[in-house]
Structure formats: C-alpha cells, structure tokens
Chain A
Amino acid sequence: MEKIIKGKVFVLGDDIDTDQIIPAQYLVYSLEDPVERKKYGELALSGVPAEESGLPQGHIPLVEEGQQESQYAIVLGGKNFGCGSSREHAPAAMEIAGVKAVIAPSYARIFYRNAVDGGFLVPVESFDRLVESFTTGEEIELNLEEGFVRKLATGEQFPVRDLGEVGAIVEAGGIFAYARKVGKIGEAANA
C-alpha cells in the first residue's frame, strides 16, 4: 500500500451508489479476461448523472471517451459512498480505471469492505464533508502516514481518519494476504 498518493482529484456528491459506479448491465463482463477487464476501467463511474460528474462544474467523466484509464488518482465523494448493491465490480472498476484511493466522510459498508478485503483501493474517511472544498482536476496529496489530504497548489490541508483495525488488511493488500500473514490460511496452492 502506498502511504502517500499524489495526483488529480475527481469530485462527486453524496450517496454515490454502485449502479452509478458501474451500471448493472455491464456486470456481465469477466474481471479475469484481460480484454473484457479493461471495459470496467472505461465504464467506471459512467452511471453518474452528467451534471453531477466531476464537481463543481459537472459534465466531466472519470475516464475520457476512447480512453481506458483515468487521469484522476483519487476520488473524493460525499456521505454514504458506494451504497446499494454488493457488487465487488464497483471498487474493481475504479481500480482498473486507475483510482488508488477514495476520500469520503462515510461509506456504505459492503463497498468499504470490498475495497479493503479485495485490496482494490484505499477507502479513507475524512472528518468533514470535503466536496465543496475541492475542485475536480486539482493536484492533491493524500498522506496516510500523517493523516491528511493537502492541495499541492495552496498547501491547504484537511485531516483524514486513521484506517484503524482494517489498516492491517489494507496494508497486507487484502483479506487473503492478511489471512496468510497471520497464519489463518496456508500459502496459495498454485501461487
């Protein structure tokens, strides 16, 4: 796990649900097949209504049309990020698009758990709702060692919460790596 993530921020509102993160019609694609897998990157956050995509101006897609990867490394959302279905394709799609972390004041629990246990991206909780404090495209630094997110241009910074007891799973890279580390399961049979 990277402790310091720098890159452009992509800003969204409250209650971004899993149908907005990856619309259900696309869940038919394989996450294993290398060609089909890329579609998840192209389609990540494609269900967000245009005017709410890339705040405050809106009408900005996470991934430009014709591209497979996003120029944004960090997604910053409002409360209850990832609500809705249990589809693990949601954090997976964001990871495939190139997103390394999400910052939000609160998460829906299945999305949070999937992000952590699958080792897709780091779900970081901010103390305050930061949606109005950031503009899509700003260069930021998320520092998990010292617990803050900072605007590179101005140096303005906001505290984020420690990962707490799931930190060990995030650091290991997911539930399987963690379970092997603590001796809960054996080494992968064909790893």
Chain B
Amino acid sequence: MGMTITEKILAKHAGRDQVKAGENVWVNVDVLMTHDVCGPPTIAIFKKQFGKDAKVWDKEKLVIIPDHYIFTKDFHANRNVDLLREFAAEQKLPHFYDVGTSRYKGVCHVALPEEGWTRPGEVLFGTDSHTCTAGAFGQFATGIGNTDAAFILGTGELWVKVPETMRFVIDGKIPSCVMAKDIILNIIGDIGVDGASYRTMEFAGTAVEAMTMEDRMTLCNMVIEAGGKNGVIAADATTEAYVRQRTDKPYTIYHNDPDATFHSEYHYKAEELHPMIARPQSPDNKSRITEVLDVPLDRAYIGSCTGGKFSDFWAAAQLFKDHPVGVDTFVVPATTEIARQLDEVKMEGRTLVEIFKDAGVQIGDASCAACLGGPADTFGRLNADEVCISTTNRNFPGRMGSKESRVYLASPYTVAASAITGKITDPREYLD
C-alpha cells in the first residue's frame, strides 16, 4: 500500500518498511532542539529520570538555541539562560548558540535552517510548537513538551502516532500583492484552528513549487495554528540548493506514492487569492483585507519565526522606502544573520536599516521579542489595551502581552501599509 511523505519518513525512522496513519511507533530522532524557556525544565526532568551524571544520547544531535527572553532585565529569564550555559558546559555540547557571543542566533525556527539543521527526510523534534516550520524542507518536524524532550535526551527515541495527511494544492501564479502569510491565513480560516488536529498539512502545486524556501517556511510555520502536527512540502531543487549551501550531511528526499491515502485534498487557484487578515482573538478569524479597512491601530509589529525573515523585511521596505510610519512600528529581525543583512543589503541606494530608520521605525535585537509578550520590558510588548497589526502567528487573548490588547495578523505588505496610515490598509494602495 502506498505511503505519504510523512509515513515514509516515520517508517524509515521506526526501522520499518511500512507504517500507516493511526499507528503508534517509536522513532529515532535526528535532531532535538530546545531553547531558554523549555530547556531548563527539560534538563531538570532528564537529570531526575536518568541520573545527575547522565549524558545526553548524542551531543551531535542536540541543538540549543536561546531565543525567547534574551534582551530583558528579568532575573528569572536570565537565570534560565545561565542554566542552559551550565548544562552545555557540563555536557560539552558543541551546538549551543549562546547569548552574548558571536554564535548567538535568535529565533530557533529560522536559525535551524540557516545553520544547516533542517534536512530532507529527517525527524526533528523541538520544545516549541512552531518547530513545524522545518517541514518546509521535506522533513518530519513537530513540537513537543519538556517530558518528551527529556525522554529523547536520554534515549534518542520517542513514540509518535502516524498522522493522516491533508493536502493543500495551490496552482497558478500568486498575485504580487499576496504573500505566503496571506495564503496560510486563508487556509486556517477555511479549516479552523482545529481543522488539522493530529494531522499533517502538505502543501503542493505549481504555486508552492515556485516559492522560495522562506515562503515555504511561512506556510509550514503556521500549521500549528490549524492544530496540525506537522507541515510538509516535498523537497525539490530549491530545497536542495538551500540545504547544500549550509551542510554537507546526507539527506533523503521522499515523495508521496501514487497510491498514497490522504485524509482530504483542498485546491486553490493562486490567481484568486487576496491579502488576508486574522481578526482578534483567533488565527482563524479570517477576513479579506477589504472587509476590515480603516480599523484604527496603535502600533505595528514585524518580526518572529513567521514574519521576521529577510524577505519579510524586504517586502516592508518596499513601502517604507517612500512613506514614513504613522503609528509606533517595531521591527525585530528573527536572527542575527538577518540583522546583518538588513544592515548591508540596499534597496535603491539605502540599506534596509536606513530605510526603516528614515521611516521612523524602531528596530530591536534578534529574538522572539513581543510575539509572545514575554517579560514586561520586552521590546514592542503590548502593555495595555493597544490595538496592533502584526506579522506574527497568534492573536489569542494576551498573546502579545496585556489581556486588554487586540492583535490583527497579516502579511508584511499589509502590516507595512497599515503602519503608514495608522489604520488597516490594503497594501495594493502602495504596490504596483
């Protein structure tokens, strides 16, 4: 019987010829990633269960990327980074991207691909729900809790239920005003915040094949907002070109068998897609931009694993290069590598940093920052009843800080256009 990409990856890692959706299997883990919020409690469970002198199962497969609460004076947050540092020293871990060093990266889901940790056909677990981002590279990647991560730390294995696959086929040419963020907000709105619970969301079609890796990452990043276990896109020449620039490790490309069984299949015509908004307080509260025009805003935010990649800032700069912002606008590059690019890459003679500064935008340090609120002194955090438009991934009550705040999710184009006018604005007013 035919298998899906996800079934093939899990079968291979379970040492089996065949697995079927619904089965529970133990799989071998290629990479485990953790960060400053969930790393310390994971380490505590690991020591409690395997002994205080226990060694991690494979130092080469453990990646620790502090990224959540970094640029804060919060005592407890800083202590958590210290705990990671102690553990990395004690275990002599080679892949710890420590704060305050030249190795510091920023947001783990963007740093993992940059550093060559995302490879087709592999199994990646991370103690963060947006670990699903890496499915863009044709691998199985999903978020887990501390206990499961501690189990992997000691054994290199974890049990998983093999998920059914929902296919989302997007064919045609995407209009220039529509970004990957608009496409995934549209899909989440169609199926709901639990529309893909326990399942794989696979993205395919000519529009997806034409996408850059960054855009594919945006699609897979938000499958968790539909309840999905993992997102996946079959690896192709675009994937290989990206991965080969960053790692020499071998990888395996899997495709669906012609007779693979799917839970369901959805078809979209790229030409019919529009800029979308997710209204407060749920990522599936979708509207076309034209249905929510002129909602007054207090601030705009561009950042996170979802909307803080280089291409997201390039998109925003296309609007900011000619127009100053009308409300407080915060830009947070996901990683230090992206921050470097913002400082070097020029658009019409100015670097992106210069364009942002000239437009009156505030630029923060690479980290998760206000996407998930964080400590009170977090850059860009919503500390009161502010209304914000953001390129991030969630707008549940209190997600970006205060319970009284309201968050609209949108693409970098839409956030930039709205930052300029101070109200929700159709980016087509500023784009050709």
Contact = CB atoms under 8 A, between A and B. Distances in A.
A108 B376 contact: no
Interface in A56-107: 79-80, 83-89, 106-107
Nearest to B42: A88
B276 to A, nearest CB: 19
Given A29-B76, A79-B194, A179 B151 contact: yes
A109 B229 contact: yes
Nearest to B24: A165
Nearest to A179: B151
B41 A23 contact: no
A36 B40 CA distance: 14
A113 B145 CA distance: 8
A4 interface: no
B327 to A, nearest CB: 24
A88 B38 contact: yes
Interface string B133-173: 00000000001111110010011000100000000000000
Interface in B221-251: 227, 229
B145 A108 contact: no
Interface residues of B, number: 55
A23 B51 CA distance: 31
Given A25-B375, A87-B38, A185 B155 contact: yes
B49 interface: yes
B396 A84 contact: yes
Nearest to A120: B147
Contacts of B399: 17, 19, 24
B206 to A, nearest CB: 31
Contact of A106 (B41, B194, B376): B194
A27 B41 CA distance: 10
Contact of A88 (B131, B145, B227): B145
Contacts of B40: 30
A153 interface: no
Interface string B56-81: 00000000000011000010110110
A68 to B, nearest CB: 18
Interface of B: 24, 26, 37-38, 40-41, 44, 48-54, 68-69, 74, 76-77, 79-80, 126-129, 131, 143-148, 151, 154-155, 159, 193-194, 197-198, 227, 229, 282, 372-376, 394, 396-399, 401, 403
A176 B41 CA distance: 15
B374 A24 contact: yes
Contacts of B193: 15, 80, 83
B282 to A, nearest CB: 6
A23 B49 contact: no
A32 B45 CA distance: 9
A190 B37 contact: no
A47 interface: yes
Interface residues of A, number: 45
Contact of A84 (B52, B53, B74, B394): B394
B397 A24 contact: no
Contacts of A117: 145, 147-148, 151
Contacts of A85: 128-129, 143, 372
Interface string A141-185: 000000000000000000000000100000000111001000011
28 contacts: A15-B194, A15-B396, A19-B399, A20-B397, A24-B372, A25-B374, A25-B376, A28-B80, A29-B76, A32-B44, A47-B397, A47-B398, A83-B194, A83-B227, A84-B129, A85-B372, A87-B145, A106-B194, A107-B197, A109-B198, A109-B227, A110-B143, A114-B148, A117-B147, A165-B24, A184-B155, A188-B51, A189-B53
A32 B146 CA distance: 13
A95 B273 CA distance: 44
A31 interface: yes
Contacts of A84: 129, 394, 396
Nearest to A28: B76
Contact of B396 (A17, A174, A185, A190): A17
A7 interface: no
Contacts of B197: 80, 106-109
Given A17-B396, A23-B373, A83-B193, A188 B49 contact: yes
A189 to B, nearest CB: 3
